Structure 1
Amino acid sequence: MIPAKITLVTVAANSVPTLRAFYRSLGWPETDVSSDEYAVFKTAGVLLSIFPIAEALHEAGLESVSLPSEPSAFKGVTLSINVDSPEQVDANIHQVQVKGGKVLNGPSDAAWGGRTGHFMDPENNLWEVAWNPTAVFNEYGAMTSF
Protein backbone atom coordinates (compact mmCIF):
# COMPACT_ATOMS: atom_id res chain seq x y z
CA MET A 1 0.00 0.00 0.00
CA ILE A 2 1.26 3.46 -0.87
CA PRO A 3 0.67 5.87 2.04
CA ALA A 4 -1.83 8.67 1.41
CA LYS A 5 0.62 11.25 2.65
CA ILE A 6 1.74 14.30 0.69
CA THR A 7 4.84 15.68 2.40
CA LEU A 8 6.49 17.80 -0.30
CA VAL A 9 5.16 19.74 -3.28
CA THR A 10 7.79 20.76 -5.83
CA VAL A 11 7.26 23.55 -8.32
CA ALA A 12 9.61 23.28 -11.30
CA ALA A 13 10.94 26.75 -12.00
CA ASN A 14 12.51 28.55 -14.90
CA SER A 15 14.06 30.91 -12.34
CA VAL A 16 14.50 29.65 -8.79
CA PRO A 17 15.77 33.06 -7.58
CA THR A 18 12.64 34.83 -8.90
CA LEU A 19 10.19 32.43 -7.25
CA ARG A 20 12.28 32.29 -4.08
CA ALA A 21 12.19 36.08 -3.80
CA PHE A 22 8.41 36.13 -4.35
CA TYR A 23 7.63 33.57 -1.63
CA ARG A 24 10.10 35.19 0.75
CA SER A 25 8.33 38.52 0.15
CA LEU A 26 5.10 36.86 1.31
CA GLY A 27 6.85 36.15 4.62
CA TRP A 28 7.12 32.39 4.15
CA PRO A 29 9.89 30.81 6.25
CA GLU A 30 12.60 28.86 4.45
CA THR A 31 14.48 25.79 5.57
CA ASP A 32 18.24 25.82 6.07
CA VAL A 33 18.84 24.13 2.70
CA SER A 34 17.39 27.04 0.71
CA SER A 35 19.50 28.89 -1.83
CA ASP A 36 19.04 30.45 -5.26
CA GLU A 37 19.68 26.98 -6.75
CA TYR A 38 17.00 25.18 -4.72
CA ALA A 39 14.57 26.64 -2.19
CA VAL A 40 12.32 24.98 0.38
CA PHE A 41 9.58 26.76 2.33
CA LYS A 42 7.86 25.59 5.50
CA THR A 43 4.07 25.45 5.33
CA ALA A 44 1.48 23.78 7.57
CA GLY A 45 2.20 20.08 7.12
CA VAL A 46 3.76 20.16 3.65
CA LEU A 47 7.04 21.60 2.42
CA LEU A 48 7.02 23.63 -0.80
CA SER A 49 10.18 23.30 -2.86
CA ILE A 50 11.30 25.35 -5.84
CA PHE A 51 13.53 23.30 -8.16
CA PRO A 52 15.09 24.11 -11.55
CA ILE A 53 12.97 22.66 -14.35
CA ALA A 54 15.98 21.23 -16.22
CA GLU A 55 17.02 19.25 -13.14
CA ALA A 56 13.44 18.12 -12.45
CA LEU A 57 13.20 16.76 -16.00
CA HIS A 58 16.55 14.99 -15.68
CA GLU A 59 15.61 13.38 -12.34
CA ALA A 60 12.30 12.13 -13.76
CA GLY A 61 13.98 10.74 -16.88
CA LEU A 62 12.07 13.09 -19.16
CA GLU A 63 13.63 14.84 -22.13
CA SER A 64 11.32 17.81 -22.18
CA VAL A 65 7.95 19.05 -21.13
CA SER A 66 5.87 21.84 -22.54
CA LEU A 67 4.94 24.32 -19.82
CA PRO A 68 2.62 27.13 -20.80
CA SER A 69 4.13 30.54 -20.18
CA GLU A 70 1.20 32.82 -20.92
CA PRO A 71 -0.45 34.26 -17.81
CA SER A 72 -3.83 32.82 -18.81
CA ALA A 73 -2.48 29.29 -19.37
CA PHE A 74 -3.51 26.73 -16.75
CA LYS A 75 -0.85 24.13 -15.91
CA GLY A 76 -3.38 21.71 -14.45
CA VAL A 77 -2.62 22.17 -10.74
CA THR A 78 -4.03 24.60 -8.19
CA LEU A 79 -2.25 25.08 -4.87
CA SER A 80 -4.53 26.22 -2.05
CA ILE A 81 -4.02 28.28 1.07
CA ASN A 82 -6.96 27.79 3.42
CA VAL A 83 -7.40 30.47 6.05
CA ASP A 84 -9.47 30.89 9.22
CA SER A 85 -11.82 33.72 8.20
CA PRO A 86 -13.30 35.50 5.18
CA GLU A 87 -11.38 38.63 6.18
CA GLN A 88 -8.11 36.72 5.88
CA VAL A 89 -8.92 35.89 2.25
CA ASP A 90 -9.27 39.61 1.53
CA ALA A 91 -6.09 40.53 3.41
CA ASN A 92 -4.04 37.77 1.78
CA ILE A 93 -5.18 38.55 -1.76
CA HIS A 94 -4.36 42.23 -1.14
CA GLN A 95 -0.91 41.28 0.20
CA VAL A 96 -0.20 39.05 -2.82
CA GLN A 97 -1.05 41.95 -5.12
CA VAL A 98 1.24 44.31 -3.20
CA LYS A 99 4.08 41.75 -3.48
CA GLY A 100 3.73 41.40 -7.25
CA GLY A 101 1.45 38.39 -7.62
CA LYS A 102 -1.09 38.45 -10.45
CA VAL A 103 -4.55 38.53 -8.87
CA LEU A 104 -6.98 36.77 -11.19
CA ASN A 105 -10.23 37.16 -9.29
CA GLY A 106 -11.72 37.86 -5.93
CA PRO A 107 -11.83 38.01 -3.19
CA SER A 108 -15.45 37.07 -3.53
CA ASP A 109 -18.10 34.91 -1.90
CA ALA A 110 -18.22 31.40 -3.35
CA ALA A 111 -21.36 29.49 -4.35
CA TRP A 112 -20.42 26.76 -1.83
CA GLY A 113 -20.61 29.19 1.11
CA GLY A 114 -17.01 30.23 1.56
CA ARG A 115 -14.85 33.06 0.27
CA THR A 116 -12.09 32.75 -2.29
CA GLY A 117 -9.61 34.53 -4.52
CA HIS A 118 -7.07 33.32 -7.07
CA PHE A 119 -3.61 34.53 -8.05
CA MET A 120 -0.58 33.44 -10.04
CA ASP A 121 3.02 33.66 -8.88
CA PRO A 122 5.71 35.15 -11.18
CA GLU A 123 5.91 31.90 -13.20
CA ASN A 124 2.13 31.55 -13.50
CA ASN A 125 1.58 28.80 -10.94
CA LEU A 126 -2.06 29.02 -9.87
CA TRP A 127 -2.92 29.58 -6.21
CA GLU A 128 -6.24 29.87 -4.40
CA VAL A 129 -6.75 31.58 -1.05
CA ALA A 130 -9.94 30.24 0.50
CA TRP A 131 -12.01 30.30 3.63
CA ASN A 132 -14.28 27.29 4.01
CA PRO A 133 -16.73 27.52 6.92
CA THR A 134 -16.62 23.75 7.45
CA ALA A 135 -12.82 23.31 7.27
CA VAL A 136 -11.13 21.48 10.15
CA PHE A 137 -7.46 22.11 10.94
CA ASN A 138 -5.14 20.12 13.21
CA GLU A 139 -2.84 21.62 15.84
CA TYR A 140 -0.17 22.25 13.18
CA GLY A 141 -2.48 24.24 10.92
CA ALA A 142 -2.90 21.50 8.31
CA MET A 143 -6.43 21.04 6.99
CA THR A 144 -7.76 17.57 7.87
CA SER A 145 -11.26 17.76 6.39
CA PHE A 146 -13.93 20.08 5.04
Structure 2
Amino acid sequence: MSSSGDGVGQRVSLITLAVKDVQASARFYDALGWQRATGPDDPEEVVAYNLIGQTLGLYSKAMLAEDLGIPEDAIGGFSGMTLAYNVATKEEVAPVLELAVQAGGRILKPAGEIFWGGYIGYFCDPDGHVWEVAFNPYSPLGEDGAFRWGGY
Protein backbone atom coordinates (compact mmCIF):
# COMPACT_ATOMS: atom_id res chain seq x y z
CA MET A 1 0.00 0.00 0.00
CA SER A 2 1.11 3.52 -0.57
CA SER A 3 1.66 5.77 2.39
CA SER A 4 -1.36 7.85 1.31
CA GLY A 5 -3.68 4.88 1.77
CA ASP A 6 -4.99 4.98 -1.80
CA GLY A 7 -3.76 1.55 -2.88
CA VAL A 8 -0.53 0.26 -4.32
CA GLY A 9 1.97 2.97 -5.20
CA GLN A 10 3.80 3.07 -8.53
CA ARG A 11 7.37 2.24 -7.68
CA VAL A 12 10.31 0.00 -8.27
CA SER A 13 12.43 0.14 -5.15
CA LEU A 14 14.99 -2.61 -5.66
CA ILE A 15 16.11 -4.22 -8.90
CA THR A 16 17.87 -7.51 -8.21
CA LEU A 17 20.07 -9.09 -10.85
CA ALA A 18 20.74 -12.81 -10.47
CA VAL A 19 24.42 -13.36 -11.23
CA LYS A 20 26.74 -16.36 -11.38
CA ASP A 21 29.53 -14.76 -9.32
CA VAL A 22 28.47 -11.79 -7.18
CA GLN A 23 31.97 -10.43 -6.61
CA ALA A 24 32.95 -10.72 -10.30
CA SER A 25 29.75 -8.93 -11.30
CA ALA A 26 30.38 -6.30 -8.65
CA ARG A 27 33.82 -5.64 -10.16
CA PHE A 28 32.06 -4.91 -13.49
CA TYR A 29 29.74 -2.31 -11.91
CA ASP A 30 32.60 -0.93 -9.80
CA ALA A 31 34.54 -0.41 -13.06
CA LEU A 32 31.61 1.66 -14.39
CA GLY A 33 32.35 4.01 -11.51
CA TRP A 34 29.43 2.95 -9.35
CA GLN A 35 29.79 3.11 -5.57
CA ARG A 36 28.75 0.12 -3.47
CA ALA A 37 26.18 0.73 -0.75
CA THR A 38 26.95 -2.63 0.81
CA GLY A 39 28.14 -2.49 4.41
CA PRO A 40 31.09 -4.35 5.91
CA ASP A 41 28.84 -6.90 7.67
CA ASP A 42 26.75 -7.71 4.59
CA PRO A 43 27.08 -11.24 3.22
CA GLU A 44 29.44 -11.77 0.29
CA GLU A 45 26.49 -13.05 -1.77
CA VAL A 46 24.83 -9.60 -1.83
CA VAL A 47 26.15 -6.34 -3.26
CA ALA A 48 24.03 -3.20 -3.59
CA TYR A 49 24.36 0.10 -5.42
CA ASN A 50 22.10 3.01 -4.47
CA LEU A 51 20.81 4.76 -7.58
CA ILE A 52 18.59 7.79 -8.02
CA GLY A 53 15.35 6.58 -6.41
CA GLN A 54 16.15 2.83 -6.43
CA THR A 55 18.80 0.33 -5.50
CA LEU A 56 20.41 -2.19 -7.84
CA GLY A 57 21.26 -5.43 -6.09
CA LEU A 58 23.50 -8.27 -7.23
CA TYR A 59 22.52 -11.64 -5.79
CA SER A 60 23.78 -15.15 -6.34
CA LYS A 61 21.79 -16.94 -9.06
CA ALA A 62 22.08 -20.18 -7.08
CA MET A 63 20.76 -18.55 -3.92
CA LEU A 64 17.90 -16.85 -5.77
CA ALA A 65 16.90 -20.17 -7.31
CA GLU A 66 16.96 -21.71 -3.83
CA ASP A 67 14.84 -18.81 -2.48
CA LEU A 68 12.32 -19.35 -5.30
CA GLY A 69 12.37 -23.13 -4.98
CA ILE A 70 13.27 -23.67 -8.64
CA PRO A 71 16.25 -25.20 -10.45
CA GLU A 72 19.11 -22.75 -11.06
CA ASP A 73 18.99 -23.38 -14.81
CA ALA A 74 15.42 -22.02 -14.81
CA ILE A 75 16.92 -18.55 -14.23
CA GLY A 76 18.76 -17.05 -17.17
CA GLY A 77 18.68 -15.99 -20.76
CA PHE A 78 17.21 -12.84 -22.22
CA SER A 79 13.93 -12.21 -20.45
CA GLY A 80 12.66 -9.52 -22.78
CA MET A 81 13.53 -6.86 -20.21
CA THR A 82 16.15 -4.17 -20.48
CA LEU A 83 17.52 -1.77 -17.91
CA ALA A 84 17.98 1.80 -19.11
CA TYR A 85 20.78 4.21 -18.32
CA ASN A 86 19.54 7.57 -19.58
CA VAL A 87 21.97 10.40 -20.27
CA ALA A 88 21.52 14.14 -20.78
CA THR A 89 22.99 14.40 -24.31
CA LYS A 90 23.46 12.12 -27.31
CA GLU A 91 27.23 12.66 -27.05
CA GLU A 92 27.22 10.80 -23.72
CA VAL A 93 25.82 7.53 -25.14
CA ALA A 94 28.94 6.14 -26.87
CA PRO A 95 31.34 6.83 -23.94
CA VAL A 96 29.06 4.91 -21.54
CA LEU A 97 29.00 1.99 -23.98
CA GLU A 98 32.79 2.08 -24.26
CA LEU A 99 33.14 2.14 -20.48
CA ALA A 100 30.92 -0.94 -20.29
CA VAL A 101 33.21 -2.74 -22.78
CA GLN A 102 36.32 -1.74 -20.83
CA ALA A 103 34.67 -3.11 -17.68
CA GLY A 104 34.02 -6.50 -19.33
CA GLY A 105 30.64 -6.00 -20.96
CA ARG A 106 29.73 -6.59 -24.60
CA ILE A 107 28.13 -4.22 -27.11
CA LEU A 108 24.86 -5.58 -28.51
CA LYS A 109 24.07 -2.52 -30.64
CA PRO A 110 26.39 0.45 -31.13
CA ALA A 111 25.23 4.01 -30.48
CA GLY A 112 22.99 5.44 -33.14
CA GLU A 113 19.79 7.23 -34.07
CA ILE A 114 16.49 5.47 -33.36
CA PHE A 115 13.14 5.86 -35.15
CA TRP A 116 11.45 7.78 -32.34
CA GLY A 117 14.05 10.58 -32.42
CA GLY A 118 16.43 9.51 -29.69
CA TYR A 119 19.97 8.17 -29.70
CA ILE A 120 20.65 4.75 -28.14
CA GLY A 121 22.96 1.77 -27.87
CA TYR A 122 22.82 -1.54 -26.00
CA PHE A 123 25.32 -3.56 -24.00
CA CYS A 124 25.12 -6.60 -21.78
CA ASP A 125 26.99 -7.12 -18.55
CA PRO A 126 29.08 -10.27 -18.00
CA ASP A 127 25.95 -12.16 -16.85
CA GLY A 128 23.97 -11.20 -19.96
CA HIS A 129 21.73 -8.54 -18.39
CA VAL A 130 20.82 -6.14 -21.18
CA TRP A 131 21.27 -2.39 -20.69
CA GLU A 132 20.12 0.38 -22.99
CA VAL A 133 22.09 3.63 -22.90
CA ALA A 134 19.75 6.32 -24.16
CA PHE A 135 19.38 9.99 -24.86
CA ASN A 136 15.68 10.84 -25.04
CA PRO A 137 15.13 14.42 -26.26
CA TYR A 138 11.51 14.24 -25.11
CA SER A 139 12.40 13.34 -21.51
CA PRO A 140 15.12 15.68 -20.29
CA LEU A 141 16.76 14.57 -17.06
CA GLY A 142 16.15 16.38 -13.80
CA GLU A 143 18.87 18.52 -12.21
CA ASP A 144 19.95 15.50 -10.15
CA GLY A 145 20.13 13.27 -13.26
CA ALA A 146 16.84 11.53 -12.50
CA PHE A 147 14.74 10.26 -15.40
CA ARG A 148 11.01 10.73 -15.74
CA TRP A 149 8.98 9.92 -18.84
CA GLY A 150 8.15 13.28 -20.42
CA GLY A 151 10.77 15.09 -18.33
CA TYR A 152 10.38 17.30 -15.29
- Verify same fold: TM over 0.5: yes
Q: CA deviation at 1:35?
A: 5.9
CA distance in 2, matches of 1:57, 1:35: 17
The residue correspondences of 1:67-86 to structure 2 (distance < 5 A) are 67-68=75-76, 73-86=77-90
Is 1:121 equivalent to 2:128 in the alignment?
Answer: no
The answer on whether the counterparts of 2:110 and 2:121 sit within 8 Å (CA) in structure 1 is yes
| RMSD across aligned positions (CA) | 1.7
The answer on whether the counterparts of 2:13 and 2:55 sit within 8 Å (CA) in structure 1 is yes
**Unaligned 5+ runs, structure 2:** 1-6
Match in the other structure for 1:11: 17
Change (3 A) 1:140 1:58: farther
Q: CA deviation at 1:67?
A: 3.2
The residue correspondences of 1:13-92 to structure 2 (distance < 5 A) are 13-33=19-39, 36-60=44-68, 62-64=69-71, 66-68=74-76, 73-92=77-96
Tell me the percent identity. Answer: 28
TM-score (norm 1): 0.87
In our comparison, the structure showing a higher alpha carbon Rg is 2
Match in the other structure for 1:131: 135
SS in 2 for 1:58: helix
**Unaligned 5+ runs, structure 1:** none
Structure 1 or 2: more strand by fraction? 1
Is 1:112 equivalent to 2:116 in the alignment?
Answer: yes
